[in-house]
């Protein structure tokens, strides 16, 4: 089961709630071909039965029922939705989810974009956010922090997952200039010496500006075969970031 995860941390409930959060890898699933093997993306051309099998595998690893592992209909926007129960019908078209429930695991799908997981263990609030270049520019990071604050969060920690690095995300100069206006550290240079953007660096910068304690997990999705990357291969799967609040009696998961 451990090969399912690129990185995972389970912290017990001590002064408040515990947390189980991490990022999946490409390994350990049922998908084949371009999607081998732990593809969790449902709209990329993979066999729906294989995708559902993969999602059930991850739900089991998180010790939640399959319908309590919640995915979004991501759209590169800046909207955040509060959720306290399994979806009734289709997931909402948002790029961030926030909850106070210990019965739910929130998931964010990526294949180069930056997955961001946030938690306030004392207040008992967690969030999962999908941040691509448009989301970073639109301020979805700040909106997620605000949504958590509205629920009582005052001391937020975040884990920023692996994504395409600044050396591999080549863009036109005008696009880099626009990103630099939002976060100067997002301005980068590619391996070829051309303009590039480091979205994750911009995300970390935005989180720290809001006094969020950040842990940044190493890894470039384009450079690592353990992660799916749209820039490396357009027809590909999606890996996920996930976060679940833990009550004292569920600490440690499975």
CATH no. for residue 107? 3.60.140.10
What is the mean pLDDT of the segment spanning 68-92? 98
Task: Determine the Cα–Cα distance for residues 94 and 199; give it in Å rounded to an integer.
Answer: 19
Which range, of 13-17, 99-103, 240-244, averages the lowest pLDDT? 13-17
- pLDDT tens, residue by residue, 60-75: 999 999 999 999 999 9
pLDDT tens digits for range 127-153: 999 999 999 999 999 999 999 999 999
The answer to whether residue 228 is domain-embedded is yes
Pull the structure tokens for residue 199: 């979205």
The answer to whether the CB of 86 falls within 8 A of the CB of 72 is no
Residue at 53 is within a domain: yes
pLDDT at 10: 97
Q: Which residues of 212-229 are buried (b: 16+ CB within 10 A; e: fewer)?
A: bebebbebbbbbbeebbb
Is residue 254 domain-resident?
no
Span 67-89, mean pLDDT?
98
Residue 3 confidence (pLDDT):
85
- Least Cα distance to 10 among 2, 19, 1 occurs for 19
Q: Which 3 state secondary structure label does DSSP give 165?
A: coil
Q: Which of 142, 166, 148 is closest to 106 using CA atoms?
A: 148
Mean pLDDT of the region 5-32: 95
- pLDDT mean over 194-210: 98
Structure tokens at 148: 């958590």
Split into its structural domains, the chain has a count of 1
pLDDT at 250 (0 to 100): 45
pLDDT recorded at residue 248:
76
Range of the domain at 104: 2-235
Can you tell me the distance from the alpha carbon of 100 to that of 83, in angstroms, rounded to the nearest whole number? 8
Task: Report the alpha-carbon distance of residue 165 to residue 163 in Å, rounded.
Answer: 6
In a domain, 124, yes or no: yes
Q: Does residue 219 sit within a domain?
A: yes
Q: Is the pLDDT of residue 109 over 60?
A: yes
Residue 44 lies in a domain: yes
User: Crossing angle for the helix pair 199-209 and 140-150, nearest 10 degrees?
Assistant: 40
Whole-prediction pTM: 0.96
Residue 82 placed within a domain: yes
Amino acid 2: pLDDT:
58
Query: Would you say residue 246 lies in a domain?
Result: no
Position 170 pLDDT exceeds 60: yes
């Amino acid at each position: 089961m451990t090969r399912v995860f690129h990185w995972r941390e389970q912290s017990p409930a001590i002064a408040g709630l515990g947390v189980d959060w991490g990022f999946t890898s490409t390994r350990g699933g049922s998908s084949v071909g371009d999607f081998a093997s732990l593809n969790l993306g449902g709209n990329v051309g993979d066999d729906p039965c294989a995708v559902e099998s993969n999602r059930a595998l991850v739900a089991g690893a998180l010790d939640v029922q399959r319908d309590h592992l919640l995915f979004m209909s991501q759209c590169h926007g800046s909207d955040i939705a509060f959720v306290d129960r399994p979806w009734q019908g289709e997931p909402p078209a948002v790029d961030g989810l926030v909850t106070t429930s210990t019965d739910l695991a929130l998931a964010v799908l990526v294949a180069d974009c930056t997955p961001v997981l946030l938690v306030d263990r004392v207040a008992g609030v967690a969030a999962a956010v999908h941040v691509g270049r448009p989301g970073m520019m639109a301020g979805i990071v700040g909106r997620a922090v605000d949504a958590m604050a509205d629920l009582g969060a005052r001391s937020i920690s975040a884990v920023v997952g692996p994504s395409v690095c600044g050396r591999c995300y080549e863009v036109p100069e005008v696009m880099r200039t626009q990103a630099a206006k939002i976060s100067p550290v997002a301005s980068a240079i590619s391996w070829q010496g051309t303009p590039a953007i480091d979205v994750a660096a911009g995300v970390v910068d935005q989180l720290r500006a809001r006094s969020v304690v950040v842990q940044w997990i190493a890894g470039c999705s384009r450079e690592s075969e353990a992660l799916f990357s749209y820039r490396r291969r357009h027809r590909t799967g999606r890996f996920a970031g996930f976060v679940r609040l833990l009550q004292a009696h569920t600490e440690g998961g499975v």
